[in-house]
Amino acid sequence: MSDATDRIRAAFADAGVTGWLHALDIDSAARLGVGADQPVCTASVHKLCLLVALHEQAAQGRLDLTEQVECPPDGRTPGPTGTAAMLDAARLSLRDLAYLMMAVSDNAAADLLLARVGLDAVNRTTARLGLDTTHAAHSFGEMLASIREDAGPAGARALADPHVIARLRALDPARTNHSTPRDMTRLLGAVWRDEACTPEHGAAIRRMMGLQVWPHRMASGFPFDDVHVAGKTGSLPTLRNEVGVVEYPDGGRYAVAVFTRTARTAATLPAADAVIGTAARIAVDALRNR
């Protein structure tokens, strides 16, 4: 395993990122880590915690996933995808909002669900599952608002300045939604073993994670028709994350969590995206060949 961890560290360095990773064989509990217990900003990865809490409440009969929710144009949490980017009123079920939250990382959908489920409920769910270093501090809209406030009057242009980046509360794990790579693989393992929710709801969560549309991070490391990757990305200025499960046709199931940060402020850094797939592939290969 030490050769694999050295190769992962080298891949992170070559891509110009600082990276943290944990990989877990869901069935044998074999594992591999590089900074696995480092506190990290989850960004949109925390939507997975919200999804599990949503399905836990549905399993308990506290809500109906077909319940309809109004999404008016005024006051929506901003974002570039899904209802967050739409201009007109919409009405969707809780489960369809959850689909948009996971498939395209829709911020407005996520905050509508969070308003229904409750921030405290999300934290109770992660605590119940033993995720001791995972905590939701605020909504996704509040996180984005803190970035706007910290950036100052120059707005988005200021995010090209490393000095501005350094003061963003959203990039400080102590002041934003946070976890560790190890906690995230523990959560994924619980979902895939039907320990997080009932089998019916676990299957719904797994299906939804398999519908994520972004192929440029973790999935890029597994370009095979018979290997399935189900994941959730997270992005903020200088941060690129993904957690997911890689499933092989022989039945092997591997939970992987990769969190990265770069000193460069550019929004487009293909190497920083691709190294998430590279590092995940090295880790999974090591677990399969141990």
**pLDDT above 80 for 273:** yes
26 secondary structure, DSSP code = T
Find the DSSP H helices in the chain: 2-15, 47-59, 94-103, 107-117, 119-128, 140-151, 162-166, 181-192, 199-209, 270-288
Burial (0-12, 13-18, 19+ Cβ within 10 Å), 66: exposed
Confidence of residue 119 (pLDDT cuts 50, 70, 90): very high
**3-state DSSP call for residue 159?**
helix
Enclosing H/E stretch for 70: strand 68-71
Across the chain, what does the average pLDDT equal?
A: 97
Q: Is residue 42 part of a domain?
A: yes
- The tally of domains found in the chain comes to 1
Is 155 inside any structural domain?
yes
What pLDDT was estimated at residue 260?
98
What pLDDT score was predicted for residue 290?
A: 84
Per-residue pLDDT, 155: 87
pLDDT band at 199 (very low <50, low <70, confident <90, very high): very high
The number of C-alpha atoms within 13 Å of 267 and in the hemisphere containing its C-beta is 5
- Give residue 210's domain range: 2-46+132-288
Residue 2 has pLDDT above 90, yes or no: no
Q: What is the CATH number of the domain that holds 163?
A: 3.40.710.10
Residue 179 lies in a domain: yes
Q: Band of the pLDDT at 1, cuts 50, 70, 90?
A: confident
Cα gap 196→152, rounded to integer Å? 41
Query: Which percentage of the chain shows pLDDT scores above 70?
Result: 100
Q: What is the DSSP letter of 113?
A: H
Flag whether 120 is in a domain.
no
Q: Is the pLDDT of residue 159 over 80?
A: yes
Encode pLDDT of 29-81 as tens digits: 999 999 999 999 999 999 999 999 999 999 999 999 999 999 999 999 999 99
